[in-house]
Chain A
Amino acid sequence: MFEGFGVGLGEILQIGTLITMAVGIVLGIIAGSIPGFTITMAIVLTLPLTFHMPPIQGIATMLAVYIGGLTGGMISAALLGIPGTPSSVATTFDAYPMSRNGEPGRAMGIGIFASFFGTILSTIVLVLAAPQLALVAVRLGPWEYFSLIVFAMTIIASLVGSSMIRGLTAGLIGMFLATIGSDPIMGVQRFSFDLRMLSAGLPFLAVLIGVFAVSQLLTEVEDLRKVRQGGALISGKIVFQPLRFMMEAVRRPVNLLRSSLIGVFIGAVPGAGGSIANLLAYDQARRASKTPEKFGTGIPEGVVASESGNSATASGGLIPLIALGIPGSAVDAVLIAALMVHGISVGPRLVLDNPDLVYAMFVAMFIGAFMMLVIAMSTMRYFLMVTDIPKHIIVPLVLVFCVVGVFALNNRLTDVYLLFFVGGLGYLLRKMDYPLAPLVLGVILGPIAETNLRRALMTDADWTLFLTRPISLGFLVLAVVSVVVFLRHRYRYAAAETSGS
């Protein structure tokens, strides 16, 4: 192993590789921080630029964009309340209130250190336990996947806080939106009503940006006086204390470790990625907390859980990629495409045939994490300048970036028209007090749930298999426990409120 690390270190510590990695980190942070630019899009746009590079340099650069992007997503989540990427949805829950409470520097500082520790811890797990974790993830059949989705849907209920009905409704609306377009198995058109705009389905990016970004930006212009005054989105003095922020993250070792391990595991499950990990890590941190009612008000625990959870998925996703050639996420699928462009076959023999490449990937993750820390902390002040930009500038310019992001993915104008309608729907649901995160989660989980349910029943029409397969049963039991715990918590809260009044 150590010999392999020596070779990997030698491959990465080339001046050219280090420079392109540093550029990748910066581009990743910028792309991730712009709502509308997902990490997948940043990686896709980077791919052609790495064609002329040697394979290891190309892959290391793309991993750097990945690491930078995961951190960048936190920036717009913390400063604008808009998750820059789906991986930072839960970051908005506490980092944004913290910024609104006058501590944007603290929110970003804690987030950056949590991301750093999440990446480092998960990469250690990747190196040490990759084969074992990959074996567990690969044993999941369609029954287990479907039960995992049911479990994830029950988590929605505990995430939304005030109303389980509204949370579930939003989640199911998301699941329904995902059924528009071609049926994933038969290819039949569903709910497209012969409209060309709907025939390809609702692109996830258009839904994500419309629901979160457009509706949030519309909310920002509600108050005429504040907009006209040119007030910044976040008020208060910016305090910049890297050591204090580091200690705030380090002083929560259990939260860091638990969230990172959740991130690694979720990242290793193909199809589930940072978008689920950050919500799950946040939820578990809240459940483990002695003061769960403080979550959502701007506390460090929430930021640490979400950011370490989503950053850990990067290494987690590499586990099935390296061990079995299965992508853990869309970004990993692009990485596989990049390896194939360079003539490297991805599969179980990757470690045997290209150990230098695999160890170079491990080393790139470690070095990328350190680079991200240094670059993000030293340039954080410039990202904090976003806080000084008044709303009348931010709103139209970010709307333009949203349009560019949605258009550039498929080069389709119909996608930007969908952005308009989804944005309007998101605003209406926001005004009706429906939580929006479950809707987006529903769009991600819907197709996975449907495909696996149908595959399971195609394999064997016996429904009881969902209850007789141990891992599937385990997820379903967790789902029931999750609902019971939530209902108990709500009942106690309501009883306490009644007795208080």
Chain B
Amino acid sequence: MSDSGDSGARASEAGARDGGNGRENASPGAKDSGLLQFLLNLAMLVVFAALFVAAGALPDSRWEPLGSGTFPRGVLAFLMLLNLISMAQAARQALPELRIGFSRMVEIALTTVSEARLVIAVFLTFGLYLLALGPLGFGISTFIFASAVQIFLGPKTVKSIVVALILAAAVSFGLQYVFASVLNVFLPRGTLFQV
């Protein structure tokens, strides 16, 4: 039932040793760091506790023994209990990690963020695409998103850029046409273009 022993400390030490430069051995990741697990569980505990308090304000019913807040409160109480157990487990791994010093911790955190920069970039682009769906409509926003991400992630050759543009056109304007004409489902048309 216990989690991965003292792997967190080992992983953090490995990350500290290579100073965040060696991509092969670094990337201890959240799951390997006891300290990070402890802090994340603490954050979750605070959120669950706040929701538990909020659920207390939900009304009771005169028709049933359980009100609308009882079930979610039960779930949140159980979650808080599990969080406390997780924190107790993580604390054993977190203590050795504290010895590596604050500056090292910051360095490891920055390395982790740096390694995830591609994920962050794609995720944020995805968010911008979703925001653009309303004003620009499905066709234009999807074409821009699909072609931009393909070109950004893929090899920078003429062939792959042409393929990216063709596929982007197919999944944007092509899909919009198929959904509208065959299935009678109208994907967002864009508020900017509505008269």
Where the two chains meet, the residues of A that have a C-beta atom closer than 8 Å to any C-beta of B are: 45, 48, 162-166, 168-169, 172-173, 175-176, 179, 183, 185-186, 188, 190-191, 214, 218-219, 221-222, 224, 227-230, 390-393, 395-397, 399-401, 403-404, 407-408, 411, 413, 416-417, 419-420, 423-424, 427-428, 431-433, 446, 449-450, 453-454, 457-458, 461, 487, 490, 494
CB distance from A452 to the nearest CB of B (A): 11
Per a CB cutoff under 8 Å, which of B79, B122, B175 touches A169? B79
Residues of chain A within 8 A (CB-CB) of B142 are 400, 403
Contact B1 A487 (CB under 8 A): yes
| Distance between Cα atoms of A424 and B116 in the complex (Å) | 13
Residues of chain A within 8 A (CB-CB) of B29 are 431
B110 in contact (CB, < 8 A): no
Contact A395 B66 (CB under 8 A): no
Contact B1 A490 (CB under 8 A): yes
Per a CB cutoff under 8 Å, which of A228, A403, A404 touches B155? A228
Contact A397 B79 (CB under 8 A): no
Residues of chain A within 8 A (CB-CB) of B167 are 393, 397
| Distance between Cα atoms of A450 and B122 in the complex (Å) | 38
Q: Given known contacts A169-B86, A396-B145, A431-B31, is B66 in contact with A454 (CB within 8 Å)?
A: yes
Contact A433 B175 (CB under 8 A): no
Contact B71 A227 (CB under 8 A): no
| Distance between Cα atoms of A490 and B68 in the complex (Å) | 37
Which residue in chain B gives the minimum CB-CB distance to A486? B1
Contact B72 A179 (CB under 8 A): yes
| Distance between Cα atoms of A129 and B184 in the complex (Å) | 40
Contact B153 A427 (CB under 8 A): no
Contact B75 A391 (CB under 8 A): no
The digit string for B170-184, where 1 denotes a CB below 8 A from any CB of A, is: 011001000100011
For chain B, the count of residues having a C-beta within 8 Å of the partner chain is 69
Residues of chain B within 8 A (CB-CB) of A423 are 123, 126
Per a CB cutoff under 8 Å, which of B130, B164, B185 touches A408? B185
Contact A431 B30 (CB under 8 A): yes
The digit string for B52-83, where 1 denotes a CB below 8 A from any CB of A, is: 00110011010111111101100110110011
Contact B66 A457 (CB under 8 A): yes
Per a CB cutoff under 8 Å, which of A176, A214, A487 touches B79? A176
Contact B179 A404 (CB under 8 A): yes
| Interface of chain A: mostly helix, strand, loop or mixed | helix
Per a CB cutoff under 8 Å, which of B69, B160, B184 touches A190? B69
| Distance between Cα atoms of A419 and B154 in the complex (Å) | 25
B149 in contact (CB, < 8 A): yes
Contact B150 A172 (CB under 8 A): no
Which of B85, B122, B187 has the largest number of chain A CB atoms within 10 A?
Answer: B122
Which of A228, A400, A419, A490 has the largest number of chain B CB atoms within 10 A?
Answer: A400
Residues of chain A within 8 A (CB-CB) of B59 are 186, 188
Per a CB cutoff under 8 Å, which of A176, A221, A390, A457 touches B119? A221
Residues of chain A within 8 A (CB-CB) of B63 are 458
Sample 8 A-B pairs with CB under 8 A, ordered by A number: A165-B82, A168-B78, A168-B82, A228-B153, A400-B172, A433-B30, A457-B66, A458-B63
CB distance from A496 to the nearest CB of B (A): 15
Which residue in chain B gives the minimum CB-CB distance to A497? B5
Residues of chain A within 8 A (CB-CB) of B4 are 162
| Distance between Cα atoms of A417 and B54 in the complex (Å) | 24
The digit string for B133-153, where 1 denotes a CB below 8 A from any CB of A, is: 110001000100110011001
| Distance between Cα atoms of A179 and B66 in the complex (Å) | 15
Contact A432 B30 (CB under 8 A): yes
B118 in contact (CB, < 8 A): yes
Residues of chain B within 8 A (CB-CB) of A457 are 64-66
B162 in contact (CB, < 8 A): no
Contact B133 A396 (CB under 8 A): no
